[in-house]
């Protein structure tokens, strides 16, 4: 596939998001994308993902954006704010630009739940799922 893909990854909880990114890149490469087709940028936290995704999605040479983050519940309402606004922003960017903006932001109650979705071999990995979803969506939007 000739597509160019941007990945926006959050540094907050990077012990989780690095696992998402690693699996995402591995799957994109397994599906035939070259390193030069993929641009990765880091933002401080998931709350900052949408604005970076918007700037990238507006670029003519970017076909789709993958958003990777990990919002893990703490003791305050902050979790809801970050998780909800991040998800809302990601959807807005997709609808505003008409490009796939893939939601790879984990929202979990515990660190263990996040690890189970971002781990290595054998565990589920949301980053890998996002790589598959982005390629499916790029192909679909070209077709319909
Ligand atoms: N950002 C995350 O990506 N995950 C979190 O779990 C999180 N918590 O729990 O606070 C978090 N907060 C930072 C936020 O995304 C912004 O970077 C910060 O509020 C500055 O705007």
Quote the pLDDT of residue 76: 80
Neighbours of 112 (CB within 10 A): 9
Would the pLDDT of 120 be above 90? no
Phi–psi pair at 4, nearest 5 degrees? -110, 130
Average pLDDT value for residue range 75-91: 93
Per-domain residue ranges for the chain? 5-143
Q: Are 103 and 85 in contact (CB under 8 A)?
A: no
Q: What's the CA-to-centroid distance between 113 and ligand 1, angstroms? A: 17
Query: Ligand 1, atom 4: nearest CA belongs to which residue?
Result: 71
Q: For residue 122, name the pLDDT band (cuts at 50, 70, 90).
A: low
For 5-143, CATH number?
3.40.50.960
Give the active site residues: 78
Q: How far, in whole angstroms, is CA 99 from its chain's centroid?
A: 14
Q: What's the CA-to-centroid distance between 67 and ligand 1, angstroms? A: 14
Ligand 1 binding pocket (C-beta < 6 A) is 10, 12-13, 44-48, 69-72, 74, 78-79, 82
Q: Kindly state the tokens that stand for 127.
A: 């980053």
Average pLDDT value for residue range 119-133: 89
Would the pLDDT of 23 be above 80? yes
Whether the model pTM is above 0.95: yes
Average pLDDT value for residue range 130-140: 98
């Amino acid at each position: 596939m000739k597509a160019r893909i941007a990945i926006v990854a959050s540094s907050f909880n990077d012990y989780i998001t690095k696992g998402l990114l690693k699996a995402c890149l591995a799957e994109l490469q397994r599906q035939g994308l070259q390193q030069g087709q993929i641009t990765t940028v880091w933002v401080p936290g998931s709350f900052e993902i949408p604005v970076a995704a918007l700037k990238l999605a507006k670029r003519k040479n970017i076909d789709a954006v993958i958003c990777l983050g990990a919002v893990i519940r703490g003791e305050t309402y902050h979790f809801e704010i970050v998780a909800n606004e991040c998800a809302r922003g990601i959807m807005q960017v997709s609808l505003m630009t008409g490009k796939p903006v893939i939601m790879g932001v984990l929202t979990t109650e515990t660190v263990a739940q996040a690890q189970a979705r971002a781990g290595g071999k054998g565990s589920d990995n949301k980053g890998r799922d996002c790589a598959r979803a982005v390629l499916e969506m790029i192909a679909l939007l070209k077709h319909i």
